[in-house]
Amino acid sequence: MSDYKVPVRDMQFVREEVLDFPALWQRLPGCEEVNAELVAAIYAAVAKLCEEEIAPLWRSGDEEGCTWSPEGVRTPAGFKEAYAKYMEGGWPALTGPVEYGGQGLPPSLESVLNEFVGSANWGWSMYPFLAKGGRLTITAHASEELKKIYLPKTVSGEWTATMCLTEAHAGTDLGLLRTRADPQADGSYSINGTKIFISSGEHDLAENIVHIVLARLPDAPPGTKGISLFAVPKRLPDAAGNAGAANGVSCGSLEHKMGIHGNATAVINFDNARGFLLGEPNRGLNAMFTFMNIARIGTAVQGVAHSERALQGAVRYARDRLQMRSLSGPKNPGGAADPIIVHPDVRRMLLTIKAFAEGTRLLIQYLAREVDIAYLAEDPAERQCGEDMLALLTPIAKAFCTEVGFEAASLGIQVLGGHGYIREWGMEQNLRDARIAMIYEGTNGVQAIDLLGRKVLASQGAVLVPHLQRIGAFCRDCAEEPALQPFVQPLAALVAEWEQITREIGTRTRKDPEEMGAAAFDYLMYAGYVTLAYLWARAVRVASAALAAGTAETDFYQAKLQTAAFYYQKILPRTRTLVATMATGAGALMAMSEQAFLLE
């Protein structure tokens, strides 16, 4: 058994009380049979799997890592058995299409599964999670013939998937990629090239791996407009749809990484491998965004996972560790010292972690609600509204959740002091595992440019306005509720400020394009802090109502009010610094010559 405990009650609070998924599902087609009993059973079953099978492999998987050989990659001891249990429980098929063997449950339930399993063991979780992204990409862009071959196996979890984007010389600039796709007489393509940083790229958990690969056709135009997308299986399906002969796909090596040692991050070589076109020729990057946007939300979940890990480990330690006396007098007079949880600075760290863990959980589930709307709503206008909200919030969630998740992991080490820096307590592994999240699926700087440049300014604010209007309407709706005044008044002021900041940056950018890039990261973090403030205010409204109604869970709801107050008083003021730095413009960033950065 692991000491990680799945936060089922908090997830219920977020989804059933604050965001009211039950009411949403009542009006979405295909959700009629989803009831409280079913959802509770899902929570309980996932919790059992995570706590008994997956979490106990977290540390051992980190210490053992994956092993490369010419015959393939072996995952750490226990990983394969845990994956078998994951499949036995039907978890890969949870939200898969019924016609291909899936259970057809609302897509938002994936976010619950992702958080619980990811918090239990992030390295392990990446194997099944990437498979879902591949499945959705095939669903959206493959021919009917390819869907019939690949979807039953990826829905069941018998086959996993990867996303093969970058190459050693390209990094984030996918327009530089060189992998070639040459048309063959049978309609397939011969894929040749090498991809790096491929998470779950080779392993022994499943019988086949479907690589989703970006490559160029021989006559492709240069840059990103000349990229196509292909499904390239490790083993070619036979006539019965099972994994058959080996394809020209091999793992050249495994990366030696800072963290997530239990996941195989591979160099994948394609040598005359047969691939199958997904979507239209030279439109592959557009199709790959189906996978990338799913992966970006999944990466945002990683921030929640590391915050939750930090919270559980740090609180347990702070309750037990005796050190010094409280400044206001002994709190443990029968002991040699007081537990460190009584000290203000320790509480500062613990409450910061708690505010981020529970706040980012709210944000992820807020996105998940929009996913259900975008996928399932009958009204095209409502679906489009959901898609627009996801377009705005996905880069915010990916970058903000991973930034504060890493901060929470770092604070978790600090609470434990010297014990946090050594392996036995697990806090240093949590920090190592967390660091990659700010890099992959588009660095957080790239997310910031996507948010401010491609979404907000390019739409002249049209994508942003519905989000601000929603927050503003909430503030007006709560204007007469005394318990909400300390929250909605500053929140309403921030909404007005957010609009003003956007206009000012837009004006400066029209004069100098560098102004957008200079402001982008601070703008994204500002957006994250304000959006979290909105969601914490919604949580306060629910918690206040529960307390007023005489709930038996007084401590639970009171803690929500206290955490929200801490967030507003001690964390939200960070927006003041961000406003100041955004106002300074690009001058200080761009003035120095390239040579002056390092004078020898």
First to last CA, the chain: 55
The predicted structure's pLDDT at residue 563: 98
For residue 181, what are the β-bridge partners? 191
Average pLDDT of the chain is 94
Q: Give the gyration radius of the chain's Cα atoms.
A: 24
DSSP 170: T
Q: Which whole number is the average pLDDT over 32-60?
A: 96
For the ranges 68-72, 400-404, 433-437, which has the lowest average pLDDT? 68-72
The predicted structure's pLDDT at residue 288: 77
Determine the distance from the C-alpha atom of residue 561 to the mean position of all C-alpha atoms in its chain, rounded to a whole number.
26
The predicted structure's pLDDT at residue 387: 93
DSSP 51: I
Question: DSSP 3-state assignment of 303?
Answer: helix
The predicted structure's pLDDT at residue 289: 77
Q: Which whole number is the average pLDDT over 581-598?
A: 93
Residue 173's pLDDT band (boundaries 50, 70, 90)? low
The predicted structure's pLDDT at residue 2: 56
108-117 b/e with 16+ CB inside 10 Å = b? bbbbbbbbbb
- Burial (CB < 10 A; 0-12, 13-18, 19+), residue 559, is middle
User: Cα torsion for 209, 214, 215, 220, to the nearest 10°?
Assistant: 150
Answer yes or no: is pLDDT of 287 > 80. Answer: no
The string of pLDDT tens digits covering residues 343-397 is 999 999 999 999 999 999 999 999 999 999 999 999 999 999 999 999 999 999 9
Q: Which whole number is the average pLDDT over 288-315?
A: 90
Residue 175's pLDDT band (boundaries 50, 70, 90)? low
The predicted structure's pLDDT at residue 369: 96
Residue 481's pLDDT band (boundaries 50, 70, 90)? very high
Question: DSSP 3-state assignment of 293?
Answer: helix
Is residue 440 a contact partner of residue 299, using CB atoms and an 8 Å limit?
A: yes
For the ranges 121-130, 173-182, 317-326, which has the lowest average pLDDT? 173-182
Residue 243, both tokens? 């994994």
The residues near 366 (Cβ < 8 Å, ≥ 6 apart) are: 19, 393, 535
Distance in angstroms (rounded) separating the CA atoms of residues 516 and 505 = 7
327-337 b/e with 16+ CB inside 10 Å = b? eeeeeeeeeee
562-590 b/e with 16+ CB inside 10 Å = b? ebbbbbbeebbeebeebbebbeebbeeee
Q: Which whole number is the average pLDDT over 61-74?
A: 95
Q: Which whole number is the average pLDDT over 448-471?
A: 96
- Burial (CB < 10 A; 0-12, 13-18, 19+), residue 157, is buried
Position of tokens 């087609």? Answer: 29
Q: Which residue has the higher pLDDT, 487 or 134?
A: 487
The predicted structure's pLDDT at residue 225: 87
Answer yes or no: is pLDDT of 180 > 80. Answer: yes
Answer yes or no: is pLDDT of 25 > 70. Answer: yes
The residues near 36 (Cβ < 8 Å, ≥ 6 apart) are: 16, 22
The string of pLDDT tens digits covering residues 246-277 is 999 999 999 999 999 999 999 999 999 999 99
Q: What percent of the chain has pLDDT over 70?
A: 99
The predicted structure's pLDDT at residue 363: 98
The string of pLDDT tens digits covering residues 506-560 is 999 999 999 999 999 999 999 999 999 999 999 999 999 999 999 999 999 999 9
Residue 1's pLDDT band (boundaries 50, 70, 90)? very low
Active site residues: 441
The predicted structure's pLDDT at residue 441: 84
Q: Which whole number is the average pLDDT over 128-148?
A: 92
For the ranges 83-97, 168-182, 352-366, 492-506, which has the lowest average pLDDT? 168-182
Position of tokens 């959006």? Answer: 531
Answer yes or no: is pLDDT of 172 > 60. Answer: yes
